[in-house]
Structure 1
Amino acid sequence: MSLPTTVSMDGLPDRITIYEVGPRDGLQNEKAVVPTPVKDEFVRRLVAAGLETVETTSFVPPSWIPQLADAQDLLAGLGEVGTGPRRPVLVPNERGLDNALAAGVGAIAIFGSATETFAQRNLNRTVEESVAMFTPVVKRAKDAGLWVRAYVSMCFGDPWEGEVPVEQVVDVSRRLMDLGCDQLSIGDTIGVGTPGHVVRLLDALQDKGIGTDRIGVHFHDTYGQALSNTITALREGITVVDASTGGLGGCPYAKSATGNLATEDLVWACRGLGIETGVDLDALVETSVWMAEQLGRPSPSRVMRAIAGR
């Protein structure tokens, strides 16, 4: 496989951490239920390809997301590969945390919203009520020695409410981080963000005491802006980037939310910029091709298609 010519640029980090969301965010919107053994192999392939941080599943009620109803069985099968501080699982409430703790996980993520409409659609609660729900979850998780991440969705736009004020995003983010979370992930759930908007939000978060060392970025590629937004974030000091192998993903509660930034596309761009990711691109592409076969449809990842097409 030929690789891009490496030409570094000033203001970019030497290394980043890719927070792989394919097994959870990538698969949660698939209509056909993916068999547990396939999910198991997917996680193992991702880890073998060098992805150190992999979000494996979610302990949400099966009625919410049937695709992830096998969380307990998946983690039991994965054993040590599926637990530890580098294998977060999403939990919506204390019951989800109970199940996660029973499975022996070492890290969790909570999932908040910057807008009231999406908070109601996703959690059936107001923003205020959702923060109250997460308060004991975070406290108990930290008391148990777990690493905790806070997702905030709809940070750049909402399909029902339209533009989302930066101040509103910062307020929700600050409230969740004040609970004791270790990391914040700002999500462009419907993919409408652009580089200038990214800079404005990161600057506003910094002004409120949430530095880029505690932030990850999560961009969807609805309008083809995920990679450019990511490079912009890296130039602002971000070193944690959410991505999904094969560009899989979407949100079952926001129909305009299409796929995530493809991990292959991110790794290729980082190779060209001289940014280390620790990921074996050949193994990653092989995994993406394999998963596309399991799902019975082509991957939207341009890099995967280009390399596999050879």
Structure 2
Amino acid sequence: MMSVRPRPGLFSALRAACPRRRLSTEARLTSDHVRIVEVGPRDGLQNEKKSISLETKLQLIEKLAKTGVTTIEAGSFVPAKWVPQMASTAEICEKILQSPPQSSNTIAYNYLVPNVRGLESLIKVMDAAETAAGSQSTSDTSTEISLFAAATEAFSKANTNCSIDESLERIRPIVTLAKTKDIRVRGYVSVALGCPYEGPDVSPTKVADITATLLEMGADEVSVADTTGMGTAPRTMELLQALKAAGIANTDLALHFHDTYGQALVNTIVGLEHGVRIFDSSVGGLGGCPYSKGATGNVSTEDLIHTVHSLGMNTGISLEEMSRIGAWISGELGRENQSRAGKATLSRIEGGC
């Protein structure tokens, strides 16, 4: 593996590149705006053992919609026998389409689909909602899908019961159908920086090839995921360099870090320095992967917001509101709040030390 030295002056370089804050409307068109994709309602909840009610899931989405976030993963059209927590996704989608959560900004609601059948189920819900709304529909929301491939053969076989090439062929008709319905497509490349079966040495070139293939199929954006949290700063930079060498633009790229080894924010800063401006995160640090034992949650949204804002960059998201949600959903699930920034922010708000 190629050795990559961390570049000096990382924080100062970021600040020099982003010397001042801008108004949020202006920032969306400039390099100091970071788009955060909130994955808590899907990736964050999918591995929870405790049954989560439909009402709690809808409450979570409704609360998130008021924070300023612009993309929310709302669920997954996968068979309940695979991921029981996602059994209520069709009902969630129907509710959002018929009565969108209150928000001060446009929100894209994203749904993971594993195959054409999953997309057909989503389209059925969308068509029914459109018929019910008729000409009265003025919703300020949009519906997107995400689909996934894996960067290693072992993980692909465990997760999709097929090879990488076979999984990509299965994806092709999903993208084609989505485009005929004018549905935006987001791709995922799982285990890009470490595999639970093959170890940490995942080929950056292979990840770049899969990413390029998804984009060539018509994906509008690809999120490269460190599913196991094995990524380190040098290996993240090596991967980003491979993606750049493959001709992949930063505007087509998102990064998705899990914090298993406590490196998610370090790797995020490497991504920011490289020019990536789209990152996935989960409120309260919720998450885990059913196919990757030991992988802990995603980087928490509160920690990501705090880090980005501390660098003089902009997300358009309220850290205070997101912190309240992180504490609330952690309590609902009976688990510890994994966000350090979230807990510290609440302590400050409540007048603690």
Match for residue 5 of structure 2? none
| 1:208 equivalenced with 2:246 (yes/no) | yes
1:176 & 1:270 partners in 2: Cα distance? 28
Q: Deviations over 1:66-89 (max 9, x none)?
A: 00011011122223537x871111
- Which residue is equivalent to 1:35? 53
**Partner in structure 2 of residue 9 of structure 1:** 15
Unmatched 5+ residue regions in structure 1? 1-6
**Structure 2 counterpart of 1:154, which letter?**
V
Q: 2:203 — aligned with what?
A: 165
User: How much has 1:287 moved relative to structure 2?
Assistant: 0.8
Cα offset, 1:238, TM superposition: 0.5
Correspondence 1:137 to 2:143: no
Q: Give the Cα–Cα distance (whole angstroms) in 1 for the partners of residues 16 and 34 of structure 2.
A: 15
After the TM superposition, list the runs of 4 or more consecutive aligned residues in structure 1 that deviate by more than 3 angstroms: none
Q: CA deviation at 1:289?
A: 1.0
Instruction: State the partner residue of 1:90.
Output: 112
Report SS of the residue matched to 1:193. Answer: coil
**Take 1:216 and 1:10, find their aligned partners in 2: how far apart are those partners?**
23
User: What's the CA shift for 1:120?
Assistant: 1.0
| Contact 1:192–1:223 (CA under 8 A) maintained in structure 2 | yes
Question: Distance in 2 between the 1:58 and 1:92 partners?
Answer: 8
Task: Report what 2:158 is aligned to.
Answer: 121
Q: Is contact 2:65–2:107 with CA below 8 Å preserved after alignment?
A: no
Rg larger in structure: 2
Query: Residues 77-117 of structure 1, C-alpha deviation per residue, up to 9 Å, x if partnerless?
Result: 223537x8711110000000001112226210001100111
**Does residue 44 of structure 1 match 2:68?**
no
Specify the SS of the correspondent of 2:148: strand
Could you tell me whether the CA contact under 8 Å between 1:60 and 1:92 is conserved in 2? Answer: yes
For residues 2-21 of structure 1, give each alpha carbon's deviation from its aligned partner in whole angstroms, at most 9, with x where no partner exists: xxxxx961245411100010
Name the count of aligned residue pairs: 304
Partner of 2:185: 148
Contact kept in structure 2, 1:220 and 1:259, CA below 8 Å: yes
CA-to-partner distance for each residue in 1:27-46, whole Å, 9 max, x for gaps? 00000121001100101111
Q: How far is 1:173 from its partner?
A: 1.6
2:242 partner letter: A
Pick which of 9-18 and 235-244 moved more: 9-18
1:257 matched to which residue of 2? 295
How far is 1:198 from its partner? 1.5
User: Within 2, Cα distance between the matches of 1:49 and 1:284?
Assistant: 6
- Secondary structure at the counterpart of residue 171 of structure 1: helix
Per-residue deviation at 1:249?
0.4
TM-score normalized by the length of structure 1? 0.94
Aligned-pair identity in percent equals: 40
**1:232, distance to aligned residue in structure 2 (A):** 1.0
The CA distance in 1 between the partners of 2:305 and 2:235, in whole Å, is 23
Which residue of the partner structure matches residue 59 of structure 1?
77
